[in-house]
Structure 1
């Protein structure tokens, strides 16, 4: 009788045949998923700010302190103002990731690749005047005719808006002397009598604005036509500086002043890492979300597109708040896990289903080899029953022994040993049939013993 091959816990061959294709399939899935993993967010962000004494530089300093808590370095590139910031962002050669921008200066151009983080705060247009240059308090821009007017430096948003307002009142080309000047030096020019009026765009946090509000002999001017300007220039909003809003003790200003103000925003490139956009949104809320002269707590930032489309990441942040992982984990840990989430796709799509079907495939492969022997055994039995005289008993038994030898040589795991023993029992049944239905070669007719 053929020797039975020792039983094993598992069949290494069957296991390899089943597992290897699955491993290759899973590896291919993870490889494809890895192609879509976003790179790690950079630890350095370059921002274009503004000139000395402006609010942009002050806010950039606050941004730098907040971002440093998340191990992100903010590199400031001073500029002449919002217009130059926009030009830098549009210039691919400039290594600038973000820049402060004043609404109303321009609009998106084809393939700009720039998006907005929403409205951050109002940037009032301040018109300061030297009291001795006017007989009475002015409240209309037409009353500035014949005066020496500082309109801000070249490349600044102040100059763009100042020219728009003067042009609307017929004073840009003639009727006034326009001087390209701005910044903290305006106070000295007022004191020296070099200018009569100065246009300044910026919040009260601007050092230039704050200095001029407290400069003796210099007053801020209200606009009687403030509402009319908002209709002519949609980027402007009418706001009111209340009496004593700057300094209650000194009653600055001495009465309510109607002003106009564009909205300030932060522009970023479309390819800025989403995690950095989330971080900038958190920073903007911390820096700009408090109370102010022109806002209540929580008024800003707001989900408002300022000339440029709202960033998709910013829109999601306004809707849902801080990303879930960043609420419970440090920034870098959260971004790492967020990047690796894409790897869960092959895990759930391939690994879990394949792990579930792998045991079935393995069992099917082991059973299929045993069932194959059953097929051979069935054919042999049918042949013996139909034509036992076709072969001698020895020939029939030789064929049966071949089936048994192959069955005994199967690498059958212990868990499937019952099937193997059942097969061997059926082989013995067929052997009994052969012994009963056939005759030995020596007994067959026509066979002569020597």
Structure 2
């Protein structure tokens, strides 16, 4: 009997040790028994902006947060990242604020896949919806798109939602245009070849692919009138009015009124509050590393604008940080 009791105690102790060794769940920062905080950062494609900034964040957090073990992962960007966060496969994600809004509210591509536990860490920099055509089309305003071949983005993409909502605000439906569901790379090539008339592009400006088109053709950026902008923002408050300055692209001699969504960092509501606070604090204290990773976008990542365009509830750790700096 005594031997059986001893054997049972050994099994119980072994099981307890095994459970302790497994560490916490990923959405609480992945903290292990050794005090390590595993932080998987879901970014985007390796050629985009999210990936280098994610690598810079990993470096910042590993150097400045005790026990941090952060890595940046290349992904399919915003929509894919929300699903990675929801499934506990990422602790921090890059995402557009409109996509985060859709996920939290269960609309658009998240209509049957609502994710109410998503929380905002900070907004970063604007991603502008640029509506580009070539001069030979004669298109000068959003209302001229009726009857035209319009590349609205890949089906189910954030760009496609942007295009549809902007057209709606201008009183145009997909029945009024010849819809082309093309990724921007496809749209750019088709625009150069004359196979489409207009392309919607959601990206920080200047965008390399638009510069490439401008090197071969005289381009026109289609401005949005005040009424369209007002209609859009009143219905979809995650948009902000933006001016694309003259000479951003070759041949563009005047400022162009556009709208932007914001790139942002999002986390799960389950993420440890102190860890979220430290992530935000150290990010802003080491902006030079973000600028080194991507100068144009890094310069726009500022604590004073970190809540602008926030489309979902803030994480408590982020609330603590912004309250501390008076924002």
TM-score, normalised on structure 2? 0.69
Which of these residues, 67, 78, 81, is aligned with residue 85 of structure 1? 81
Which structure is larger by alpha-carbon Rg, 1 or 2? Answer: 1
Measure the CA separation in 2 of the matches of 1:82 and 1:161: 14
> CA 1:88–1:58 in 2, change beyond 3 Å: closer, same or farther?
same
CA drift of 1:51 comes to: 4.3
Which of these residues, 68, 71, 76, is aligned with residue 73 of structure 2? 76
TM-score, normalised on structure 1? 0.52
Which segments of structure 1 move beyond 6 Å, counting only runs of 4 or more? Answer: 288-291
- Give the aligned CA root-mean-square deviation in angstroms: 3.4
> CA 1:124–1:305 in 2, change beyond 3 Å: closer, same or farther?
closer
Equivalences for 1:84-233 in 2 at 5 Å?
84-90=80-86, 92=87, 95-105=89-99, 106=102, 108-109=104-105, 112-134=116-138, 137-139=139-141, 141-204=142-205, 207-208=208-209, 211-212=212-213, 216-225=217-226, 227-228=229-230, 229-233=232-236
CA contact (8 A) 2:239 2:309 kept: no
Which of these residues, 32, 40, 43, is aligned with residue 49 of structure 1? 43
Q: Does structure 1 residue 319 correspond to structure 2 residue 323? A: yes
- By percentage of residues, which structure has more strand? 2
Give 2:283's aligned residue.
283
Instruction: Please list the CA deviations of residues 194-241 of structure 1 after superposition, one character each: whole Å capped at 9, or x if unmatched.
Output: 222111112126544554565533332221235423234322111212
Measure the CA separation in 2 of the matches of 1:42 and 1:215: 52
Q: Which runs of 5+ in 1 are unaligned?
A: 1-37, 322-450
Measure the CA separation in 2 of the matches of 1:52 and 1:297: 20
What is the DSSP-based 3-state SS (H/G/I as helix, E as strand, rest coil) of the residue aligned with 2:307? coil
Q: Which runs of 5+ in 2 are unaligned?
A: 1-28, 106-113
Measure the CA separation in 2 of the matches of 1:189 and 1:51: 22
> CA 1:52–1:198 in 2, change beyond 3 Å: closer, same or farther?
farther
> CA 1:74–1:304 in 2, change beyond 3 Å: closer, same or farther?
same
Residues paired across the two proteins, number? 273
CA drift of 1:111 comes to: 6.7
CA drift of 1:284 comes to: 5.6
Q: Does structure 1 residue 243 correspond to structure 2 residue 240? A: no
CA contact (8 A) 1:238 1:261 kept: yes
CA drift of 1:72 comes to: 3.2
Measure the CA separation in 2 of the matches of 1:258 and 1:184: 24
CA contact (8 A) 2:54 2:72 kept: no
